[in-house]
Amino acid sequence: MKRREELRNVAIIAHVDHGKTTLVDQMLRQSGTFRENEHVSERAMDRNDLERERGITILAKNTSINYNGNRINIVDTPGHADFGGEVERIMKMVDGVLLLVDAYEGVMPQTRFVLKKALEAKLQPIVVVNKIDKPMARPEAVIDEVLELFIDLGADDAQLEFPVVYASAVNGVAGTDPEDVTKDMSVLFDIILNHVAPPVDNSDEPLQFQVTMLDYNDYVGRIGIGRIFRGSIHVGQQAVLVKADGREKPFRVTKLFGFVGLKRNEIEEAKAGDLIAITGVEDINIGETINQAGHVDPLPLLSIDEPTMQMTFRANTSPFAGREGQHVTSRKLEERLLAELQRDVSLRVEMTDSPDAWVVSGRGELHLSILIETMRREGYELQVSKPKVIIKEVDGVLSEPYERVHIDVPGDYSGSVIESMGVRKAELQNMEQQADGHYKLEFIAPSRGLIGYRRDFLTETRGYGIMNHTFDHYRPVVNEVIGGRRQGVLVAMETGQSSAYAMGQLEDRGTMFIEPGTAVYEGMIVGEHTRENDLTVNVTKTKHQTNVRSATKDQTTTLKTPRILSLEDALSYLDDDEYCEITPENIRLRKQILNKNEREKAEKRKKVGTK
């Protein structure tokens, strides 16, 4: 079988924050891909603003490097399981994977998730133990953990014979001995060339290209990115797009792009094994196949794990609707959600009985919150309901998602964490004490018990705890309340501007979410009550003016610092009768029914209905 010996296709997979993007940076630099005088920012592959701010990779990205006359195509993938749809598709594009594992943290939930996908795709893994320069690095123990994980996931004999590279991506060094990683990354390049199979060269056969990623450009329209599995393609060629439903759409290839470093260069032709981008067909979608005209032979559609969490997205109906956003109508909102479906295969959007509401399903809170944050930055206004897990039928039984939770916590706080996880019906699977006095805890917990838990967890551990979780499996539904908010909220009774005087009077009633001078409306949530019930309060009241001088008139009101909620905090804080209002400038919590009397009537009707 003829192969393209000068080409390798690899993906970099790992748990979030184990150093994938930093490693790609160093590989690009040391391969001579950049000019010596070229300015390149750190984590150059993370080009999205949200990716840079949060330090995570959200979208998979292609690059390629040249090394000793060989071309290595590299795909940088997200480490967070909420973006697992990106990882699953990438497995179809490559012939091998670099599995990065932190030399201290070792195997984590997403390590299991991404490796499982790679092994299922029959890819050849290379294990890279990264951050070897950490003071608490434990490379030998980490390799043992990785080997156990391979066996646990059913790796075959060939996959178990994985080579190991020890590296410090941030310092740009790698080696096969953990005590000797002081030179450069040439060892890693050589191992990739020696252990990842070159693609088969069947470029003389009819074309077969599958779309695994999408992009959009105002000048050329939609761009399909993927791998040529068979044959060759050139600009001007007549081809056929085979749609997901089997329809055939003839078109002419207008442009082809290859990947070099961080650039996308226009090319005239490409052949089997190449990762390329193609334009010329407007309604191309992920998973669809492009064939040569007269030789229709589509590849199987991509299999993607189903969403596990959903929220209702609505057009903004608050009294402040339309003040801050450019796109506020339900039509604009629907167009945007449907456009997101074209790029994100893990997302689902369903219509509801209301023309102003859609049920949006995703892989987790982060997946949905990134979509919301992206939309608000694009000028959209919307309001969303409390996130809920998706219940589905498995073997005739209603089942709910469970997650594998890994927690790293100082010993002083381990007891309170185990107790609080127990309240959320989590089962402790493993408990291990580390040399530094920290405990590693592993739980299996219902997903609904984890909604909103991160804030409580950080409070319980004084910010020293680290928690990671990923979807594990479905189990029969447990018919009892799990997790949820214990405290009631402080709800504004009037529309106006909050005053320091009014807020000072309410400090003993709870914790404020707003600052003095904030515009509020009736039904808006302005704080958390100290008790379990909701309390309607007046935060706009001002001090009554008189002509009598006060001996304390020069004193100013000193208020406690309010708790300002981030988007993720706000979404996980929501209760069933509340919305989160999102605009380009503000994130507000509100009651679904704004008027106090109408809320009380609805509550009475609800109680009567449940008797």
352, 280 contact by CB (below 8 A) = no
37 known member of a binding site: no
Helix (H, G, I), strand (E, B) or coil at 333: helix
Containing 152, the helix (H) or strand (E) segment is helix 139-152
Q: Give me the residue label for tokens 């939309």.
A: 375
SS3 label, residue 271: strand
For residues 155 and 97, the answer to whether their CB atoms sit within 8 Å is no
**CB contact burial 539-555 (16+ within 10 A = b; e otherwise):** bbbeeeeeeeeeeeeee
What is the distance in angstroms between the CA of the first residue and the CA of the last residue of the chain? 73
Check whether 131 is labelled as a binding-site residue.
yes
Phi (first) and psi of residue 528, to 5 degrees = -110, 130
Consult the annotation and say whether 176 binds a ligand: no
Residue 215's Cβ-count burial label (10 Å; 0-12, 13-18, 19+) is middle
In Å, how far from its chain's centre is CA 170?
Answer: 23
Strand bridging mode 587-591 / 524-529: antiparallel
Backbone angles phi and psi of 584, in degrees to 5: -60, -25
Residue 20 counted as an annotated binding residue = yes
Cβ contact 250:238 at 8 Å: yes
Instruction: Tell me whether residue 425 is annotated as binding.
Output: no
Measured in degrees and rounded to the nearest 5, phi and psi for residue 454 equal -55, -40
Residue 557 marked in a binding site = no
Dihedral angle sign, alpha carbons of residues 561, 566, 569, 574:
positive
Judge whether 422 is annotated as a binding position: no
DSSP state for residue 342 in the 8-state scheme: H
**Residues making up the chain, counted from first to last:** 611
Q: Would you state the structure tokens that stand for residue 259, as one six-digit string?
A: 């990947």
Asked if residues 65 and 31 have their Cβ atoms less than 8 Å apart, the reply is: yes
Confirm or deny that 316 is annotated as ligand binding. no
> Among 490, 491, 488, which Cα is nearest to 522's?
491
Can you give 393-449 as a three-state secondary structure string?
Answer: EECCEEEEEEEEEEEEEEHHHHHHHHHHHHHCCCEEEEEEECCCCEEEEEEEEEHHH
CA-to-CA distance for 436 and 459, rounded, in angstroms? 21
Strands 382-384 and 578-582: antiparallel
Cα gap 472→84, rounded to integer Å: 13
Q: Is 202 annotated as a binding residue?
A: no
Q: Please check if 21 is assigned to a binding site.
A: yes
Going by the annotation, the residues of the binding site are: 17-22, 130-133
Going by the annotation, the residues of the binding site for GTP are: 17-22, 130-133
